[in-house]
Amino acid sequence: MAWYDRFIGRTTEDLEEKNNPSQYLMSREEGLSINSREVVTRYRDAYEKLEVVNRAVNIVVDDVAEIPVDVGGKIPGLSPVFKNIRKVTVNRLLNIQPNYYQDINTFKRNLIIDLLIDGNIFIYFDGDSLYHLPAENVTIETDEQTYVSKYTYDGVIDYLPTEIIHVKENSFNSIYRGVPRLKPAYRTMQLLASMRNFQDNFFRNGAVPGLVLKSPNTLSEKIKERMLAAWRARYNPSTGGRRPLILDGGLEVDNLTEVNFKDLDFQVAIQANEKIILQAIGVPPLLLDSGNNANIRPNHRLYYLETVLPIVRKINFAFERFFGFDISEDVSNIPALQPELKDSAAYYSTLVNTGIMSANEAREAMRMEPLEGHDDLRVPANIAGSAVNPSEGGRPEQEEENNGE
């Protein structure tokens, strides 16, 4: 019996038992227990230690979390995982309070951070509330016939597949777990971290490069060690110790390397690496550059269309599959997705003048107060047999003196 037959209530008596061939191959390829803890630790470190990663991830998290959803009716033909739930309950879970301990905004932020850094979201539904399970602690237990036999949290708590809502990022080599968005930029993040560490170590050493002590005489190892100990005791830039030194016996001090402080800035390389990281996450570099906002509106709109909304819809589709209700994003309060005021005015003016909507309906759509006497539809003047009332768009009646001529 295929794994999906259990969700729709089929039994082995209903049909001949069949296996999904890809499940057999993938379970052999990936193993029967699949988690991402070792891999994700690297990305969490980058999120905590690299400013550009932290800022970009938080921008996406904040923007996605602030988009509410509209819960519609039941989707015809869809057999949901959890059937016995009301629309008002789904709306509470997805827009107000998912559980007793969290508000919806905090809950969503946890989910989206996991999706960006781990590539997966795991949500436990106990029949009344939704709970976020940190993705790096969840292991997927698979077998060759049921796709997923269970989900295990922290190696201790087991969940049935029908209790877990699993949202996956894209992956070309796994049907079980998604790939973090940061993965393509991993080497870039390593390089950026190395640059930061080099700068930290250099300035921790008092901005002094390596030194060489030169002696015209051949020194024994014992004398070398004693001289180095004396040198370190009096000259230690990392602790601010720079006491005057008196060199005798022909000793000379020389730099190990010539230092160009301009090269130590790494500014061009850092900016190039940061751009690669931003592209991997899906954030236009312009959004982090407060000094250049000439084209910020079209870039902001593109960012919502290409990054934010796909994430929102990916999560909404998972909730649709689980609860069976039509769930769509409400973007009416997102400025970047709203047309310019002049474009809106021209758009609604056309709808009013062609009789598609009333003036007050147009004002309501533009979030303006209604006006008395503007609730009727206007009939275009070029429609044959149209009303002659000027307020309805018809031609005005001729003056009486004109009629008498």
Whether 94 has a pLDDT exceeding 60, the answer reads: yes
Per-residue pLDDT, 14? 43
User: Where is 327: in which H helix or E strand?
Assistant: strand 325-329
- 196 lies in the same domain as 243: no
Same-domain pairing of 385 and 285: no
Mean pLDDT over each residue of the chain, to the nearest integer: 77
* Segment among 63-77, 250-264, 354-368, 381-395 with least mean pLDDT: 381-395
- 10 Å CB burial of residue 189 (0-12, 13-18, 19+) is buried
Q: Looking at the domain assignment, is residue 350 inside a domain?
A: yes
Q: Which residue has the higher pLDDT, 343 or 349?
A: 349
% of the chain at pLDDT higher than 90 = 32
Q: What is the pLDDT of residue 245?
A: 55
- What percent of the chain is predicted at pLDDT more than 70? 68
Q: What is the pLDDT of residue 253?
A: 62
- 82 and 228 in a single domain? The answer is no
Q: Examine the fold and report which residue of 321, 337, 353 is the final residue of a domain before the chain moves on.
A: 337
Same domain? For 222 and 346 the reply is no
Same domain, 273 and 238: no
Query: Is 400 part of a structural domain of the chain?
Result: no
Q: What is the mean pLDDT of residues 90-95?
A: 96
Question: Which amino acid, one-letter code, is at 7?
Answer: F
Q: What is the pTM of this model?
A: 0.68
What pLDDT sits at residue 303?
A: 93
Note whether residue 218 is domain-resident. yes
Q: Which domain holds residue 307?
A: 1-208+261-337
Domain boundary pick from 290, 315, 337: 337
Query: Tell me: the pLDDT tens digits for 230-258?
Result: 666 666 555 544 555 555 566 666 654 55
pLDDT at 347: 83
Do residues 228 and 200 both lie within one domain? Answer: no
55 and 103 housed in the same domain:
yes
Residue 329 lies in a domain: yes
pLDDT digits (tens, 9 = 90+) for 270-316: 788 888 899 999 998 888 776 556 677 788 889 999 999 999 999 99
Q: How confident is the model at residue 70 (pLDDT cuts 50, 70, 90)?
A: very high
Q: Are 93 and 135 in contact (CB under 8 A)?
A: no
| Same domain, yes or no: 58 and 201 | yes
Q: Say if residue 70 is in the same domain as residue 105.
A: yes
Indicate the pLDDT class of residue 38, thresholds 50, 70 and 90.
Answer: low
- Record the tokens describing residue 316, joined without a space: 């909404």
Asked if residue 176 is part of any domain, the answer here is yes
The per-residue pLDDT for 285 is: 87
Q: How confident is the model at residue 105 (pLDDT cuts 50, 70, 90)?
A: very high
3-state helix, strand and coil shares in percent for the chain, rounded to the nearest 5? 45, 15, 40
Query: Average of pLDDT values for 93-104?
Result: 95
In a domain, 159, yes or no: yes
User: CA–CA distance from 64 to each of 46, 73, 109, 308, 315 (Å)?
Assistant: 21, 23, 8, 6, 10
Q: What is the pLDDT of residue 383?
A: 59
Number of domains the chain is built from: 3
Concatenated DSSP letters of 258-281: ---HHHHT-HHHHHHHHHHHHHHH
186-204 helix and 267-281 helix, angle to the nearest 10 degrees: 150
What's the Cα-to-Cα distance from 287 to each of 24, 54, 58, 282, rounded to whole Å? 45, 14, 12, 11
20 pLDDT exceeds 70?
no
Q: Which residue has the higher pLDDT, 146 or 284?
A: 284
Q: Are 391 and 375 within 8 A, CB to CB?
A: no
User: Per-residue pLDDT tens for 177-227?
Assistant: 888 888 888 888 888 878 777 766 666 655 555 566 666 777 677 877 777
Does a structural domain hold residue 404?
no
Find out whether 138 and 13 touch, Cβ atoms under 8 Å: no
Domain assignment present for residue 102? The answer is yes
Phi, psi (rounded to 5 degrees) for 55 = -65, -45
Query: Between 1 and 83, where is the model more confident?
Result: 83
Residues 121 and 103: their CA atoms lie apart, in Å, by 18
Same domain, 156 and 286: yes
CA gap 220, 227 in Å, rounded: 11
Split at pLDDT 50, 70, 90, the class of 370 is: confident
Q: 104-117 and 37-49 helices cross at what angle (nearest 10)? A: 110
In this model, does residue 41 exceed pLDDT 50?
yes
Look at the alpha carbons of 112, 118, 124, 125 in this order and tell me if their dihedral is positive or negative.
Answer: positive
Q: What is the mean pLDDT of the segment spanning 21-37?
A: 49
Mark whether 154 and 49 lie in a shared domain: yes
Top-confidence residue, 297 or 22: 297
Looking at the structure, do residues 369 and 310 belong to the same domain, yes or no?
no
How far apart CA 283 and CA 274 sit, in angstroms, is 11
